[in-house]
Amino acid sequence: MVVHGRGHGSSVVAGQDLDELLANCALLLIADHDTTTHFIGNATLTLLQQAGETAEVEPGGS
């Protein structure tokens, strides 16, 4: 995908129409959110299952 600027405030998208470009941007945003959500959930579950490791990441823990 190549975006070429044309003047101030407008642009031409070479090889894709604007709807397809916006759909791809939405897909990337949703995929990133989903990945982050699963990462946080899995990390929390792992720390809860391994209580000894949790003490190392708590403030003041060693």
Q: How many CB atoms lie within 10 A of CB 16?
A: 14
Supply the pLDDT for residue 54. 72
11-14/2-5 β-pairing: antiparallel
Supply the pLDDT for residue 15. 63
Say if pTM beats, i.e. exceeds, 0.85. Answer: no
Q: What is the mean pLDDT of the chain?
A: 79
CA-CA distance, 3 to 25, in Å (whole number)?
Answer: 14
What are the backbone dihedrals phi and psi of residue 48, each rounded to the nearest 5 degrees, phi first? -70, -35
Supply the pLDDT for residue 9. 60
Element (H, E) at 45: helix 18-49
Per-residue pLDDT tens over the stretch 14-41: 666 888 989 999 999 999 999 999 999 9
Bigger pLDDT: 5 vs 36: 36
